[in-house]
Structure 1
């Protein structure tokens, strides 16, 4: 019987250690999940800011070319032509 009680005590100690390890791992997992969520929010904000800055850059390029700069003239002409096509389409839709 003595060997059996020692075995049970040993199992209890091992179970306790495993349970502590499980709790620690769950806590670490939760911390990492929170960090991941925060990183996702930061990445989304940065992507939104990048899109805004890209839009501002495109607008500045267009304005710069309209002011006489030879750079980006082709892009500006294409954009103007695209806007004209959109306006023509809207006029056609209104005419129907």
Structure 2
């Protein structure tokens, strides 16, 4: 009987240690899931910021080209021609 009680005690100790490891792993899993959520939020904010900055850059390029800087004369002419075509199209639609 002494060997059986030692075996049971040994199993209880192993079970207790295993249970402690499980609790630690579950806690770590929760921490990592929270970090993932924070990282996803940061990524979304940065992505939104990139989109906003790209729009701002496009607007600045357009303003710069419309101001007629020497670097962007070709772009300015193309933009003006595009705007003229749009205006002509609108006038034609109103005339019909």
TM over 0.5: yes
Gaps of 5+ in 1: none
For residues 33 and 42 of structure 2, the distance between their equivalents in structure 1, rounded to whole angstroms, comes to 14
Q: So what's the TM-score if we normalise by structure 2?
A: 0.78
Q: Distance in 1 between matches of 2:3 and 2:75?
A: 86
Shift in Å at residue 69 of structure 1? 1.6
**Corresponding residue of 1:69:** 69
* Structure 2: gaps of 5 or more residues: none
Kept in 2, the 8 Å contact 1:65–1:73? The answer is yes
Q: Distance in 2 between matches of 1:80 and 1:28?
A: 61
Count of residue pairs brought into register by the alignment? 93
1:45 matched residue in structure 2: 45
Match of 1:81 in 2: 82
CA distance in 1, matches of 2:12, 2:74: 78
Give how far 1:70 is off.
3.8
Deviation at 1:28, TM superposition (A): 0.3
User: Which structure has the larger Rg?
Assistant: 2
